[in-house]
Amino acid sequence: MAKPKPQPPANGRFAFDGLDRVLHEKARLGMLSSLVANPEGLLFNELKELCDLTDGNLSRHLQVLQESELVEIWKGHQGKRPQTLVRLTPAGRARFLEYITLLEGIVSDTLQSAAESKSVKASRPRLGEIGG
């Protein structure tokens, strides 16, 4: 009796519906990673350097994060110099850490799938072998 063909897993396994577009954007992912590592917050210029962003890009991304209630922003002065401090909100920290856990699951699942696929011989014909 022939072995049954392995069936693909559930529909949408790699659809990644749980990815949050606000968090997943490259610059914001870097900004949030920097802020989670610095719970006391970072000055605007520190965050700009860590994430290699321009003033304009950083300002725009901070606006998105603030509107999503992920960060708090304080503006003040040190001497005559304006200073902007950025810090994760408690809800922002929790949401970001949940998101990182989701990403860890995606990476783990992908690595497991890759390892499993190495041990299975290809049962589908190559494109050049199909048809006439």
Query: How would residue 67 be classed by pLDDT, with cut points 50, 70 and 90?
Result: very high
What span, in angstroms and rounded, lies between the C-alpha atoms of 64 and 62? Answer: 5
Residue 93 burial (C-beta neighbours within 10 Å; 0-12, 13-18, 19+): middle
**46 belongs to a structural domain:** yes
The pLDDT value given to residue 113: 83
The pLDDT value given to residue 131: 62
Instruction: Tell me if residue 88 falls in helix, strand or coil.
Output: strand
What span, in angstroms and rounded, lies between the C-alpha atoms of 53 and 57? Answer: 6
What span, in angstroms and rounded, lies between the C-alpha atoms of 112 and 92? Answer: 30
| CATH number reported for the structural domain that contains residue 45 in this entry | 1.10.10.10
The pLDDT value given to residue 59: 98
Query: How would residue 106 be classed by pLDDT, with cut points 50, 70 and 90?
Result: confident
Please say if the pLDDT value at position 73 is more than 80. yes
Number of domains in the chain: 1
**1 belongs to a structural domain:** no
**71 belongs to a structural domain:** yes
Instruction: Tell me if residue 14 falls in helix, strand or coil.
Output: coil
**35 belongs to a structural domain:** yes
Q: Which amino acid would we find at residue 126?
A: R
